[in-house]
C-alpha cells in the first residue's frame, strides 16, 4: 500500500475523516452489554493504541475481546494471521515474517484475512480507507465506530454502571476540564499527532516544511507546559489529553525521528520535561506500558512504507526503546 498516494497535488498528506460514527451508550442503539462488542486494533497504530489504553485503564477487558492485525500493511491493507496458523508458534520479530508475528492474531470472530473484509461485511459499497481501530457489534454484525477520539470518550463513561467503583470513578474527560482539554487536543492533533504523518508522507519539500515546522514549535509548546514539573498535562490528573499525546510521543524516537524525518530533536535528548512525562506514564501505569509493543511499532512503519523505505530495513536502534525511569 503506497501511503503517499493519499497526498494531494501539492504533496500534502490528507487524513481521511472516519465514516462510522455511532456510539455505545445506555438506552441507545448500541447499548453497553458485556460480550457484545469486539475491538480490532493494530499494536503499531497510535490511533488504535488510544483505545487499548482506555480499555485497560477502565477495566473493560471482559467487555471487549480483541483481535490484533499483523504489523505488515501490504497491498490489501491491514491483514490478520491466517486462520490455519492460529495455533502455530509465531516467527520471531527478527525474521520479518509476512504471516505470523508475536502478539498478532487471527480474526477471532470470522477468520477474515484482512480488515477490509470487515468493512465490506458492514457496508458492501464501502470505498474509503480500511483503518483501525474498529469497534464491532457481534449482534448487529456491523461497525459501531472507527473514530478513536470518539471511542475513547464512550469507553470512558458507557459501562460505568456495571464497573467497580474504582474503575467507574476514573474520568479522563471531566466536565470541569473539557474546555481546556478540547483546546489542547486541537493543536496537538493538527501539529503533533497528525503532524508527524504530514511530515513523513509529504512528497514535496514545501509540504514537508509546512508540516515539520509547526510540529517542532508545538513540541516546544508542550515542553513549556510541562516545564513546571507537572505530572499530567491538564488539571493535575490523567486525562484523555495525556493519552492522545502519549501514543505519538512513545513512537517518536523509535520511528518518527528517522522514518518521518522529524529529526530536529529527539524526545530523550532534547525535551527533558516531555521525556520525563513520557517515562512516568510508561513505567508507572500498566495501561500505558502493557499496551505498548515496540516490535509491532518499528516493524510496521519501516517494513510497510516502501515508498519511504524501499528496502524494508528495520533498524536495530534506538539502543533502548524507552529509557528507564530514574
d(CA 92, CA 30): 39
Fold of 175-287: Glutathione S-transferase Yfyf (Class Pi); Chain A, domain 2 (1.20.1050)
Q: What is the pLDDT of residue 16?
A: 60
Asked if domains 3-168 and 175-287 share a fold, the reply is: no
**Predicted confidence band at 227 (pLDDT cuts at 50, 70, 90)?**
very high
C-alpha cell at 186: 486541537
Q: Is the pLDDT of residue 3 over 60?
A: no
Give the residue from 170, 167, 175, 141 showing the smallest Cα distance to 63: 167
Q: What is the pLDDT of residue 97?
A: 97
- Give how far Cα 52 sits from Cα of 5, 17, 204, Å: 29, 21, 35
Question: How many Å separate Cα 191 from the centre of its chain?
Answer: 16
Q: Is the pLDDT of residue 246 over 70?
A: yes
pLDDT digits 0-9 by tens, 38-54: 999 999 999 999 999 99
Catalytic residue list: 45, 197
Q: Is the pLDDT of residue 15 over 70?
A: no
pLDDT digits 0-9 by tens, 145-158: 999 999 999 999 99
Q: What is the dotted CATH code of the domain comprising 3-168?
A: 3.40.30.10
* 3-class DSSP state of 74: strand
Q: What is the pLDDT of residue 12?
A: 74
Q: What is the pLDDT of residue 18?
A: 55
Q: What is the pLDDT of residue 189?
A: 99
**Predicted confidence band at 277 (pLDDT cuts at 50, 70, 90)?**
very high
Annotated binding site for glutathione: 78, 129-132, 147-148
Q: Is 304 exposed, middle or buried (0-12, 13-18, 19+ CB in 10 A)?
A: buried
Question: What is the residue extent of each domain of the chain?
Answer: 3-168, 175-287
Amino acid at each position: 500500500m503506497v501511503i503517499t498516494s493519499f497526498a494531494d497535488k501539492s504533496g500534502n498528506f490528507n487524513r481521511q475523516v472516519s465514516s462510522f460514527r455511532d456510539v455505545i451508550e445506555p438506552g441507545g442503539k448500541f447499548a453497553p452489554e458485556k460480550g457484545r462488542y469486539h475491538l480490532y486494533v493494530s499494536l503499531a497504530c497510535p490511533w488504535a493504541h488510544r483505545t487499548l489504553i482506555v480499555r485497560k485503564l477502565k477495566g473493560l477487558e471482559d467487555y471487549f475481546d480483541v483481535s490484533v492485525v499483523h504489523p505488515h500493511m501490504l497491498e490489501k491493507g491491514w491483514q490478520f494471521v491466517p486462520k490455519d496458523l492460529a495455533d502455530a508458534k509465531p516467527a520471531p520479530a527478527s525474521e520479518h515474517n509476512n504471516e505470523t508475528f508475536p502478539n498478532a492474531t487471527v480474526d477471532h470472530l470470522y477468520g477474515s484475512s484482512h480488515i477490509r473484509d470487515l468493512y465490506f461485511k458492514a457496508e458492501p459499497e464501502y470505498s474509503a480507507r480500511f483503518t483501525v481501530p474498529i469497534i464491532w457489534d457481534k449482534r448487529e454484525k456491523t461497525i459501531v465506530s472507527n473514530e478513536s477520539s470518539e471511542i475513547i470518550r464512550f469507553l470512558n463513561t458507557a459501562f460505568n454502571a456495571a464497573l467497580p467503583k474504582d474503575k467507574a470513578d476514573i474520568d479522563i474527560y471531566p466536565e470541569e476540564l473539557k474546555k481546556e482539554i478540547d483546546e489542547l487536543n486541537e493543536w496537538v492533533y493538527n501539529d503533533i499527532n497528525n503532524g508527524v504523518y504530514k511530515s513523513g508522507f509529504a512528497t514535496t519539500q514545501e509540504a514537508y516544511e509546512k508540516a515539520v515546522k509547526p510540529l517542532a514549535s508545538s513540541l516546544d509548546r508542550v515542553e513549556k507546559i510541562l516545564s513546571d514539573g507537572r505530572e499530567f498535562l491538564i488539571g493535575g490528573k490523567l486525562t484523555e489529553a495525556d493519552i492522545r499525546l502519549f501514543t505519538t510521543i512513545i513512537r517518536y524516537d523509535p520511528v518518527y525521528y528517522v522514518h518521518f524525518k522529524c529529526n530536529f530533536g529527539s524526545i530523550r535528548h532534547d525535551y527533558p520535561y516531555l521525556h520525563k512525562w513520557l517515562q512516568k506514564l510508561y513505567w508507572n501505569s500498566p495501561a500505558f506500558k502493557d499496551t505498548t509493543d515496540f516490535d509491532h511499532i518499528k516493524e510496521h512503519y519501516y517494513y510497510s512504507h516502501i515508498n519511504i523505505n524501499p528496502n524494508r530495513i528495520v533498524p536495530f536502534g534506538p539502543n533502548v526503546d524507552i529509557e528507564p525511569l530514574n
